[in-house]
Chains A and B, each alone.
Chain A
Amino acid sequence: MTSNLAVSNRRMPPLLVVEDSNEDFEALQRLLARLPLTIPIQRCINGDQALACLYRTGAYEDHQLPRPGLIMLDLNLPGTDGREVLRRIKQEKMLKEIPIVIFTTSSNPQDIEDCYQYGVNSYIIKPINFAQLKRDVQVIVDYWFVVTTLPSDLED
């Protein structure tokens, strides 16, 4: 309990959610809000936006947002899709340390295989079960924001 409290007082790096579905994002937001941690959430609705955000280009040029502590990435996105975003991030020296969790509808074994080949940190299939979704979100946040120690430059 104490450690949790200690963590909650810490300034959390933001969570970048790349998700085109408003309904899915709302569900995610709802569940995150109930967690004891206060995590800033940044949402991008497609791959291009996500890349602009990470590279601080375009509309994000003047943003002074800290780098995200976790990216939750949907695979099937309009325009540049999740697979391409993943590949680009994991090839970039400055970005590849950011953990990425694929959070998608696709249960295709080929997708799972490809994502791990690109270096994804975790692959989670979106459940159609509210209780399970709640549990999954909690586990993700706990694991990546509490249990895991990330490189220090991500936290500044």
Chain B
Amino acid sequence: MAEMTDRVSVDLTNCDREPIHIPGQIQPHGVLLVLHAPDLNIIQVSNNTQELMGRPPEALLGTPLSDLLNEPQTQQIQQCLTEDFESVNPLNLSIACPDRAIEFDGIVHRWDGVVMLELEPRANSGSPNFFDFYYQVKEPITRIQKAPTLLDLCQVVVKEIRRITGFERVMVYQFDTEGAGTVIAEDTDQETPYLGLRYPPSDIPKQARQLYTLNWLRLIPDAYYQPVALIPDYNPLTDRPLDLSLAVLRSVSPLHLEYLHNMGVTASMSVSLMQDQKLWGLIACHHSSPKYMPYHIRTVCEFIGQVMSAELANKESSEDGEYKRQLKSLQTQVVETLSQSNYFLDGVEQLNTQLLHLVNATGAVVCSGDRRVYVGDTPTEAEIDILLDWIKSRLDQSIFETRSLPKQYPAAESFKAIASGVLALEISRIHHNYILWFRPEVLQTVNWGGNPNKPVEVLDDGGLRMSPRKSFQLWRETVQGCALPWKPCELEAVVELRSLIVGIVLRQAEDLAAMNYELKRSNEELDSFAYIASHDLKEPLRGIHNYANFLMEDYAETLTTDGVSKLETLVRLTQRMENLINSLLHFSRLGRTELMCQSVNLDQLVQQVIATLTMARPHIEVEFRIPRPLPNIGCDRAQTNELFANLISNAIKYNDKPEKWVEIGFLTREGTEHPTFYIRDNGIGIPQEHQQKIFQIFRRLHGRDEFGGGTGAGLTIVRKVVERHGGRIWIESILTQGTTFYFTLAAEAVI
């Protein structure tokens, strides 16, 4: 393991940090002149001016450019100082040297505070005209545009570039999301094909990639060249090494040269392929002997690269055309189903396998709050909970995707067979709405162009140095813990789906809020209805009662005993009805009065309740058990008093044992600060099938006069008190053995 770590650090030191943009040297096939703007005096030159233009560098330094170039050429450069150099490049320059005039291709650009002029001697006289260029590009462009698929396009390009340049091998590399490159097209006359080989991301370090995006073309005519130094060493204006990022002649990293040597390549040229401002790939050209490409050929290649780059998006978007249409129609169905259901998860349950088809997954989990819906093959609930937490911090624009979960999340090793690939979508953080899709592990054989793990050399001083790999022999690796990658069109479909679902979820939340409001209002109306109705019922009831009494008083003599007894029954019934109305009134008032929450000493409260109850029933012997003093809690004193009074009096009433007891206590549970209270008795118990009914108003389980009677509103009032405090109440009961009522008086925290 320690060795591994070292290797990583060497990798970083040697490659990713090498300052390849300021090598302080150039390749020898041209001359670099560094000019001070705006007077265009030469302030730095490459140390090969003598060889290429017959003038020693010292003679050039400090002189104006106009000494070298004629007036129109100098003016041309001068004019574009404030404008675009692209419009003048390449400059067709003729420089008067001591013995003759030499033709150069000049490329001028501005960077790092100076103007750089690169001059490459033109091999044959006479510059190619526009029509030469046109004929060279016309055919390749037509073929590029006609290519039906991306691979055909690449194949056309490698053929055309090889035809134009004459390189021994021309390839198209495509980079994947991890930065590894794969040869997807090749045209060569060499024996060993490189087609299908894969190169690790470290073969092209990060800063090299950056330069590839700045400079679309890179030429190394001879990998065995002697670099040419700049005179003076540093940019005299900044006193730092000159930034050669945009310089065509920039000297190559020794590591890269070694890499080329190992590969048997002497000349190389690469053209960047860009898509969405990102490096998509490269057209790479190799030659086993030195090979120089004149500027106009390079321009043709660069132009082809640009046209190909533009075509990439077209070709990629037309790939999977049928699949995309299917996704689109599936997406429509999904949205339709979801929007027709009242709750997001209900809709998801109906979707079932459609949810999988949407991104070609084999498993999916939809999370909404604490609820989960599982479709297909998924990890277990516990595994998903932890995974989801891990993913939440890694979401990028509500999306997380990987094809190799175990690499980033080692816990996934145990379920990689079903979930090596994960695509997660956050729909709402507030409502905890997430969709996770899974793809199984697919064992893949990757053909590497040599062992991708770079060898480490131990240096004489004991230090470590990573050398570029030496072998480019086919090296096969079986890749584990990887699923098929999520396609861009699948990700797009999911992103689009998200915005549609968000709309649906929002609407459903609004509907729910409106329903809640309605419900609250109708509840209030019902409360007020019950109050008024029961109130108004009392008046006729009183009339019936009084008139029955009038009858008995006024006509007692004329009535038979039977008649009097019937009137007595009438009076008794009015009294029972009054009791019911009073209970109803009381119950409805309970919902209408404000809760007056304060800190209440429940221990005292219960003692008082017991005292009152035993006073009312002095003949009943009950043992009250209170295992530990009840706590102080915040609640409405009067209502809580009633709650305990009702439950304790029930516990006393519904008991036929010779030795009755009632236990009043509380439990504290982990994760919640609110105690759960209980009132337990050894009474008659409640049959399982009736346990849900006991809380319904006026719902009685026993005869009217059994167990001391009652209106049947007590437990309804109890539940109302509990619910008004935000708590809940439930029971456990065994018939003939006893009942325990549990309740809380505060909302439990949502976990």
Interface residues of A (CB under 8 A from B): 21, 23-24, 27, 30, 76, 105-108, 126, 128-130, 133
Q: Which residues of A contact B589 (CB under 8 A)?
A: 108
Interface contact A106-B575, CB-CB below 8 Å: no
Q: Are A105 and B539 in contact (CB under 8 A)?
A: yes
Q: Which of B581-597 contact A (CB under 8 A)?
A: 582, 585, 589
Q: A30-B550, A105-B542, A108-B589 are in contact. Are A128 and B535 (CB under 8 A)?
A: no
Measured between C-beta atoms, what is the minimum distance from A7 to chain B in Å? 26
B550 closest partner in A (C-beta): A30
* Chain A minimum-CB-distance residue to B578: A128
Residue on B nearest A20 in the bound complex, by CB:
B539
**C-alpha spacing A1/B546, complex, angstroms:** 30
Give B residues with C-beta under 8 Å from A: 535, 538-543, 545-547, 549-550, 571, 574-575, 578, 582, 585, 589
Alpha-carbon gap, A80 to B258, bound state (A) = 107
A76 to B539, CA, bound (A): 11
Query: How close is B719's CB to chain A, nearest CB, in angstroms?
Result: 22
| Interface residue from B538, B540, B547, B575 paired with A129 (Cβ < 8 Å) | B575
* B550 with A128: CB separation less than 8 A: no
Alpha-carbon distance A23/B543, docked complex (angstroms): 6
CB distance from B121 to the nearest CB of A (A): 106
Min CB–CB distance B231 → chain A (angstroms): 101
* Cα A99 to Cα B540 with chains together (Å): 28
A129 B535 Cβ-Cβ under 8 A? no
Contact, CB under 8 Å: B547 / A128: no
Supposing A107-B585, A130-B571 touch, asked if A23 and B546 sit within 8 A by C-beta, the answer is yes
Q: 7 smallest A-B Cβ distances: which pairs? A: A23-B543, A130-B549, A27-B546, A128-B578, A105-B538, A128-B542, A128-B545
Q: State in angstroms the CA–CA spacing of A122 and B560 once bound together.
A: 42
Report the bound CA distance from A115 to B541 in whole Å.
Answer: 25
Interface of A is mostly: loop
Report whether over half of chain B's contact residues are helix, strand or loop; otherwise say mixed.
Answer: helix
Distance A27 CA – B539 CA, assembled complex (angstroms): 12
- Distance to closest chain B CB from A21 (angstroms): 6
A107 to B535, CA, bound (A): 9
Q: How many Å from the CB of B7 to the closest CB on chain A?
A: 82
Tell me which residues across on chain B come within 8 A of A130, comparing CB atoms.
Answer: 545-546, 549, 571
* Closest chain A residue to B546, Cβ basis: A27
List 14 interface pairs A-B (beta carbons < 8 Å), by A numbering: A23-B540, A24-B546, A27-B550, A30-B550, A76-B535, A105-B539, A107-B585, A128-B538, A128-B574, A128-B575, A130-B545, A130-B546, A130-B549, A130-B571
A108 CB contacts on chain B under 8 angstroms: 589
Contacts of A133 in B (CB 8 A): 546
Question: In the complex, what distance in Å separates the CA atom of A24 from the CA atom of B540?
Answer: 9
- Given contacts A30-B550, A105-B539, 13 further A-B pairs with CB under 8 A are A23-B542, A23-B547, A24-B539, A24-B542, A27-B546, A105-B535, A107-B582, A107-B585, A128-B538, A128-B545, A129-B575, A130-B545, A133-B546
CA gap between A128 and B152 in the complex, in Å: 99
- Name B545's contact: one of A21, A30, A106, A129 (CB within 8 Å): A129
Chain B residue at minimal CB-CB distance from A30: B550
The answer to whether residues A21 and B546 also contact, given A107-B585, A128-B574 and a CB cut-off of 8 A, is no
Q: Which residues of A contact B542 (CB under 8 A)?
A: 23-24, 105, 126, 128
Quick one: given A106-B535, A128-B574, A128-B575, are A21 and B543 in contact (CB under 8 Å)? Answer: yes
Q: Return the contact of B539 from the options A21, A30, A107 (Cβ within 8 A).
A: A21
- Note all chain B residues with C-beta closer than 8 A to A27: 546, 550
CA distance A24 to B545 in the complex (A): 11
What CA separation (Å) do A101 and B545 show in the bound complex?
23
Residue of chain A at shortest CB distance from B548: A130
- Measured CB to CB, the closest approach of chain A to B584, in angstroms, equals 12
Nearest CB on A from B154, distance (A): 86
CB distance from B447 to the nearest CB of A (A): 87
Residues of B within 8 A of A76 (CB): 535
| CB of B553 to closest CB in A, whole Å | 9
Q: Which residues of A contact B550 (CB under 8 A)?
A: 27, 30
CA distance A108 to B578 in the complex (A): 15
The residue on A at minimum CB distance from B547 is: A23
**Complex Cα distance A14/B546, Å?**
25
Minimum distance in angstroms from A27 CB to a CB of chain B:
4
Once bound together, how far apart are the Cα atoms of A23 and B544, in whole Å? 9
CA distance A155 to B575 in the complex (A): 40
In Å, the complex CA distance between A100 and B505 comes to 61
Give the CA-CA distance A132 to B281 in the complex, in Å: 102
* Cα–Cα distance between A106 and B538 once the two chains are bound (Å): 9
Asked whether A128 lies within 8 Å of B541 as measured between CB atoms, the reply is yes
Contacts of B543 in A (CB 8 A): 21, 23-24
